[in-house]
Amino acid sequence: MKNPRYLVDHMFTADPAAHVFNGKIYIYPSHDIESGIPENDLGDHFDMRDYHVFSLDDVEGEVTDHGVALDVKDIPWSGRQLWDSDCAEKDGKFYLYFPLKDKTDIFRIGVAISDKPEGPFLPQDAPMKGSYSIDPCVFKDEDGSYYMYFGGLWGGQLQRYRNNKAIECGQEPADEEPALTARVTRLSADMLEFGEEPKALVILDENGEPLKAGDHDRRFFEASWMHKYQGKYYFSYSTGNTHKLCYAIGDNPYGPFTYQGVILTPVVGWTTHHSIVEFKGKWYLFHHDSVPSGGKTWLRSMKLVELNYDENGKIETIEGTA
């Protein structure tokens, strides 16, 4: 495999969530477009309108674009901005989870269903009850339970919530206060709703203290991903304005997790976002950068690179500009 490898060049793709279904790799990325909206800290320039699903039989193989899997115009509650999605399979059905601003410009998380991993997906009439913010990631544990991880700062609106309730004039905490965290919730048996109140996913430092809001090099910003390696739970995420993909390890799906280090150093482009998947006995990082668009933050291209662990289960840092 050319390592790293860009996966497609006929359209811009970002935030790739990869899963192995039916022996193939399926990828659920965002579909970046040139919207003409000026860049700002709320991410208005990320004005995506549909999703395509991609598959490949092998990491070196040809990538198939399965076409439009879900279009914003078919989502009854839609406002704007289809951001990072994820997909989970249960009992032969496939559930696509996506963040989208509703008609009042508040991000909610929606679900759409298909009989096939590539869709097309039929959206539910309303977003998941009690959902907010962005970047849903769904993890199936070995006991058959499904957990959703979500949340994102700034344009992702997470700073507007405390204890799952919207607050007036939401702002990030002061630098010395505990950082805002991703959220985790078990999904309901029908996969369509939260099965419980979302909980805070706490990341501890080397002294067992929660990371502080001012610790921009390590604190959670967006892009949750969960995978399991040698019985441990690896929560990985983007640090946003410091542009790193980092990870923390825990003993169960809820944590707490202890900060470990950097998976990917900054890439070309403002955002960094990924998934980690095992395929045929090797591990891979799917992520994106803005090299092919000449550095345009809102026009990203998904990539694939092999990921390695050392003998203690530590992930070896990958150079984002490699």
Q: Report, as residue numbers or ranges, the catalytic residues.
A: 15, 222
Closest CB to ligand FUB among 182 and 213? 182
Give min distance, CB of 238 to ligand FUB, in A.
6
Question: What is the spatial distance between Cα 147 and Cα 160, in angstroms, rounded to a whole number?
Answer: 23
Nearest in space to 188 (alpha carbons), one of 225, 146, 150: 146
Closest CB to ligand FUB among 109 and 223? 223
8 Å CB contact between 32 and 14? yes
Nearest in space to 173 (alpha carbons), one of 214, 134, 115, 225: 214
Closest CB to ligand FUB among 29 and 117? 29
Closest CB to ligand FUB among 159 and 271? 271
3-state secondary structure of 154: helix
8 Å CB contact between 83 and 134? yes
For ligand FUB, the binding residues (CB under 6 A) are 14-15, 30, 46, 83-84, 134-135, 152, 222-223, 271, 273
Distances (CA, A) of 122 to 18, 114, 128, 251, 301: 20, 6, 14, 36, 26
Give min distance, CB of 68 to ligand FUB, in A.
17
* DSSP letter (8 states) at residue 299: S
Question: What is the spatial distance between Cα 113 and Cα 94, in angstroms, rounded to a whole number?
Answer: 6
Give min distance, CB of 15 to ligand FUB, in A.
5
* DSSP letter (8 states) at residue 85: -
Give min distance, CB of 248 to ligand FUB, in A.
17
Give min distance, CB of 14 to ligand FUB, in A.
5
Closest CB to ligand FUB among 106 and 204? 106
Closest CB to ligand FUB among 257 and 270? 270
What H or E segment, with its residue span, contains residue 271? none
Helix, strand, coil fractions of the chain, as percent rounded to 5: 5, 45, 50
Query: What residue type is 172 in one-letter code?
Result: E
Question: What is the spatial distance between Cα 109 and Cα 17, in angstroms, rounded to a whole number?
Answer: 16
Give min distance, CB of 80 to ligand FUB, in A.
12
